[in-house]
Amino acid sequence: MRITKVAPTARTAGRYNIFVDGHYSFSLDEFQLVQYSLHSGQEIDETKLAELQAESDFGKNYIRAVDLISRRLRSEREIRDYARRKQWSRDNTERVIARLYDRGYLNDLVFAQAFVRSRQSTQKYSCRRIERDLVNKGISRRIIQQVLDEEAGMADDNDALANLVAKKYHRYDDINKLKAYLARAGFRYDDINRAIKQYHEQGSQVSKWAGYNIIFTGLYY
């Protein structure tokens, strides 16, 4: 067999289509092309062709993984789940993951740190909900505990729940819908009921003192 043509791809810069005996066979990136010293007119046997095709698959899958991570950080399990859905070979998956770690694109600790900050600042999730979500994303218990300890300065769940009740209470015309929302955020029902009760009591105190102010003010007119 002979490589009859090496041509840049139309869709991906830095990638080349390789034609064998006049027919498209596989594609490689620029680094792979140089690594294997491929050129038009080169003779290759079936063993070499299989090796090059496997290398082609690796390059394509690596690019896909980097593209995923460029959209948002991913955990190792998320990449493995993606590889499984796309039916990558085991060897290919391990090579891609090893390369991602080597290039600094994959790091479960960095992922967990970013995840915790995001869920606390934008979605107001409880530590319990965050921990559960991180477990589901394949983050080890050791890393989860480390990250939660690092973020110990953030408000505890009781403070977070109280703030969320105060913020969301008047947006719901049905108290049960508010409770369901808070439960989805990872708070326990007992804590939810207690926080709502405390909010009611504080509101009653505010109303009471507001009434006294009206009375006292009236005495001066």
Question: In CATH, what number is assigned to the domain containing residue 145?
Answer: 1.10.10
Q: What is the pLDDT of residue 80?
A: 97
Do 138 and 160 share a domain, yes or no?
A: no
Q: Indicate the residue among 82, 102, 122 that finishes a domain.
A: 102
Do 160 and 149 share a domain, yes or no?
A: no
Do 18 and 49 share a domain, yes or no?
A: yes
Q: What is the pLDDT of residues 27-65, one digit of tens each?
A: 998 888 898 898 999 999 999 999 999 999 999 999 999
Do 146 and 164 share a domain, yes or no?
A: no
Do 8 and 63 share a domain, yes or no?
A: yes
Spell out the residues 6+ positions from residue 161 whose beta carbon is closer than 8 angstroms to its own. Answer: 126, 182, 187, 191, 192, 195
Count CA atoms closer than 13 A to 159's CA, side-chain side. 6
Do 18 and 93 share a domain, yes or no?
A: yes
Do 66 and 9 share a domain, yes or no?
A: yes
Do 18 and 36 share a domain, yes or no?
A: yes
Q: What is the pLDDT of residue 177?
A: 78
Q: Indicate the residue among 68, 87, 102 that finishes a domain.
A: 102
Decide if 143 contacts 116 (C-beta within 8 A). Answer: no
Do 98 and 132 share a domain, yes or no?
A: no
What is the CATH classification number for the domain harbouring 71? 1.10.10.10
Q: How far apart are CA 43 and CA 1, in angstroms?
A: 6
Q: Indicate the residue among 86, 102, 118 that finishes a domain.
A: 102
Q: What is the pLDDT of residue 123?
A: 66
Q: What is the pLDDT of residue 42?
A: 93
Q: Range of 23's domain?
A: 3-102
Do 7 and 98 share a domain, yes or no?
A: yes
Q: What is the pLDDT of residue 97?
A: 97
Q: What is the pLDDT of residue 104?
A: 93
In this prediction the pTM is: 0.65
Do 33 and 86 share a domain, yes or no?
A: yes
Do 97 and 162 share a domain, yes or no?
A: no
Neighbour-count burial for 150-162, b at 16+ CB within 10 Å, e otherwise: eeeeeeebeebbb
Low-confidence ranges of the chain (pLDDT < 70): 123-124, 152-158, 186, 188-189, 201, 203-221
Q: What is the pLDDT of residues 193-208, one digit of tens each?
A: 777 877 776 765 444 4
